[in-house]
Structure 1
Amino acid sequence: MQLQTGSISSSDALDLLIAPLSPEEFFRDYYERKYFHSTQKHPGMENLLSIDRIDEIIADSELPPTAISMAKSGRSIDPAEYTFPDGIVDRGAVLDNFRDGSTIILPQLHFADGKLYEFCLSLEQAFGSRTQTNIYMTPPGEHGFGVHFDDHDVFVLQVAGAKDWEIYGDRETLPFRGEGFNKDRDDTGKLRAQFVLEEGQCLYVPRGTAHRALTHGDEPSLHITVGILTQTWADFMLEAVAEASLRIPEMRHSLPRDLFFNRGNGPEYKAMFERLAREIADKASFEATLTAFSGNFVRQQGGRVRGGLKALCKPIGPDDRFRVRDHILYSFEDSTEDGQDGKQIVLLGASMPLSDELAAQLQERIAAGSVAKSDFKVSDTEEMEDVFGSLVAYGLLVRD
């Protein structure tokens, strides 16, 4: 697949990462199970990122201290070596450290780069998870980190140069978020595979699989690491307990004052625990938990409002047609605004109450992917005008 500079579909983005596998093959045989090295090369990957773009970012972009870090030979570099005393990034020192063998790391660059951000958004529906990027620019013959595993699944896109990869053993269980690698505690297992990740190729490494990468050859390496920030069944069940607890009055009571000190009352308190656990199991609601999870997933997606300002600089005519922006998440949910039952549309940063009349038509038009004000037949035109304008402002609708 030749990458283009415009919006990329979810299927094309996933295909880039796993080709020649089908999605069914990848999720059945590899996802959360074992690494996959795609030897297929993708010309045009530099449309996502390039060494020239990294040079431009370091030279001309705003660089707060959190926008950059450095590492060399398995250890992090003290920020004092590439920042001024006031914390501002010393751009010359960054390049000088790179010259001396240090890897330049640009964490979360998708928040500052539109192409990477669009690419991340295109993957979120494919995985049902938040995604992020970290960028690694490594000099020839060097490596940033030693053998380690990550607490989230990663895809590596080799943009320029090549890397020698080493894949080690897996943990017996998948790590939770925050359960990171500790070299004094965790066994990396035996070396299982060695290969060269060449320019234009991709690699999938499940969380918990130990690995190391060293620059191959005489050219520097630039790669994009896409992190898949999954939510687990443990997260879902914890939310289910929290949701059910709202309907169990005793869950609001404080713990007994002597719970930690009076072992004689242990059987009584254990019985209380077991009774509450049974009541939680009885009252936990899959549907209510799913609604809470999906709503939070929508609300936590990053905003995308490019084109909105231009569209709002003049009045929106009744026949001006708008399309639903690619990869933007939204949901229609029940609302209890002002104590009144009704519907609302939920976006990042906004929950807009809707009359039943407008909600039904809006849901139908947005599902169709194209909408104009003249499509609506409602009695409250003021409500429709206000909601339509807000959907443009918050990025759901973009002018055709």
Structure 2
Amino acid sequence: MSGRIRNFDDIVAPLGAERFRDEYLHRRPLYLEGTEDKFREVMNWEILNRLLGMTTIWSSRSLVLVLDRETVPVEAYASPAPGRDGGQVMRPDPVRVRKLLARGATLVANDIDQLTPELSTFARVLEETLGGKVQANLYMSSQRRQAFRVHYDTHDVFAVHVAGEKRWFVFEGRAEDPIAHPAFKNLPQEVHEKAKGALWREIRMTPGDLLYLPRGQYHYALAEDGGCIHIAFGVTYPIGIDVVSYLFERMVTDPLARANLPRGDREALATRLRELAARMTEILAEPRSLEDIERQMADFRWPRETYDLPRILEPEGQRFEVRGDGLRLVSQGGRFALVKSGTRQGVEVPRDMQPMVSWALERTAFTRAELDRAFFDRPAEQRAKFLRDMEKMAVLRLAV
């Protein structure tokens, strides 16, 4: 298989997307061996060096070093520097970072899923397939040094191995749906050691391999002698607490929710709590709430739009969305008008524009090039005027 990732089947090859969803997603770990070049376009040493060389995009928050299971103090590898957006940041110093890496420190590059088109495409494929938000961190380790103790993650993990070799130790223990909250993030290490359970499997990962770990699955990893790189794509899904957040926004407008709670009267307080519970139940039972939550779930992903230059700067590359809901073109006595359904209000359409208006209303979107091909016999200025007039009437919107 080539190193180009086009869809989720490519990611979980040779298993396949359908079998992954049916047998593994949210259920159990999965290890898949891959060809050496499977993820080469996503990340390799050349790409990593190029990204790290963009020194002004990094700070001590986005680039972290870990040595022998302890986070390296920021002052040991970073210095104050002007931030790209003003203010000061602690910027990693390549010279000091290299020295620590030579001693066996692990480099953690956080939030890299937007830094290259290939990383963004990989993350977008996961989001569109799984319905969650995806964030990616890169880990570069060496010299058999363990960076992190046994732990679980508060999201599903797709560990993509791209360089060198690393041994993973995956345990049978699994925390029940942990989330990114201090109640789960700040547990003493002895709690994890006790909860990890027996070793499920020791895995030696090489370039092209993929390891899937459901949220809460206990594990740790250990690099071999040479340098190695893997990227952990974390997937976070909508949960019940998101519904609580939605309910908070709805309750803000409810006088009952804004009223002071009764003091000094336990029975009155109990009555108020029952009233609040009834009101919340009533809100969540509304069809609107179901529609709102479904919409939130459908939109639960990070924006990954691109600029698409220089295509959008050329007229033939422009794309228009048709906002024709409720609009119809009617004719009477040889005259034409655009009329909104349910009203008698209309806007007259010149006879020479009628074919283009009819053509546009039959579509949800079209490009300038498509319009030019369909009406090549019309003067260019007439086609341009049609677009300007339809935009002014809000029937068309330029999509960028």
Distance 2:36 2:362 in 1: 42
Deviations 1:74-131 (A, max 9, x none): 2211111111244222111111100011011111112222221122122221111221
Residues 288 and 371 of structure 1, relative CA distance in 2, 3 Å threshold:
farther
1:372 is matched with: 370
CA contact (8 A) 2:141 2:228 kept: yes
Question: Within 2, Cα distance between the matches of 1:129 and 1:137?
Answer: 26
1:321 CA displacement? 7.7
Q: Please provide the CA RMSD for this pair.
A: 3.8
Alignment of 1:84-123 (within 5 A): 84-86=79-81, 87-123=90-126
Aligned residues: 349
1:9 aligns with 2:44: no
Q: Deviations over 1:280-326 (max 9, x none)?
A: 2443535431464157547x41331132xx23444x04xx586x9xx
Partners of 1:334 and 1:292 in 2: CA distance? 20
Q: In the aligned structure 1, how far is the partner of 2:397 from the partner of 2:292?
A: 31
Give the SS at the match of 1:137: strand
Q: Give the TM-score, by structure 2 length.
A: 0.74
1:302-313 counterparts in 2 under 5 A?
302-307=304-309, 310-313=310-313
C-alpha distance in structure 1 between counterparts of 2:300 and 2:93, whole Å: 37
Out of 131, 144, 147, the position equivalent to 2:150 is 147
Q: Do the aligned residues in 2 keep the contact of 1:153 with 1:228 (CA within 8 Å)? A: yes
Residue 167 of structure 1, CA deviation: 0.7
Structure 2 counterpart of 1:72: 67
Please, which moves more after superposition, 237-246 or 180-189?
Answer: 237-246
Q: Which runs of 5+ in 2 are unaligned?
A: 82-89, 327-339, 342-356, 376-382
Question: Quick one: distance in 1 between partners of 2:154 and 2:273?
Answer: 34
Query: Does residue 255 of structure 1 match 2:251?
Result: no
Q: Structure 1 length normalisation: TM-score?
A: 0.74
The question of whether the paired residues in 2 share the 8 Å contact of 1:2 and 1:42 is answered with: no
Distance 2:71 2:95 in 1: 18
Matched with 2:51 is 57
Aligned to 1:215: 223
Please say if 1:129 is aligned against 2:132. Answer: yes
Distance 1:99 1:245, change over 3 A: same
Instruction: Label 1:159 to 1:334 Cα distance change in 2 as closer, same or farther (>3 A).
Output: farther
What is the percent sequence identity of the aligned residues? 19
Higher Rg: 2
8 Å Cα contact 2:175-2:217 kept in structure 1? no
**3-state SS of the aligned residue for 1:88?**
strand
Q: Distance in 2 between matches of 1:85 and 1:321?
A: 44
- 5 Å matches for 1:27-46? 27-46=21-40
CA distance in structure 1 between the aligned counterparts of 2:213 and 2:298, rounded to whole angstroms: 29
2:233 matched residue in structure 1: 226
Specify which of 183, 198, 201 is matched with residue 190 of structure 1.
198
Which position in structure 1 is the counterpart of 2:352? none
Cross-structure match for 2:291? 288
Q: How far apart are the structure 2 equivalents of 1:321 and 1:195?
A: 50
Unaligned 5+ residue runs, structure 1? 325-329, 342-355, 394-400
Give, in whole Å, the separation in 2 of the partners of 1:250 and 1:123: 42
Match of 1:351 in 2: none
Contact 1:168-1:191 at 8 Å conserved across structures: yes
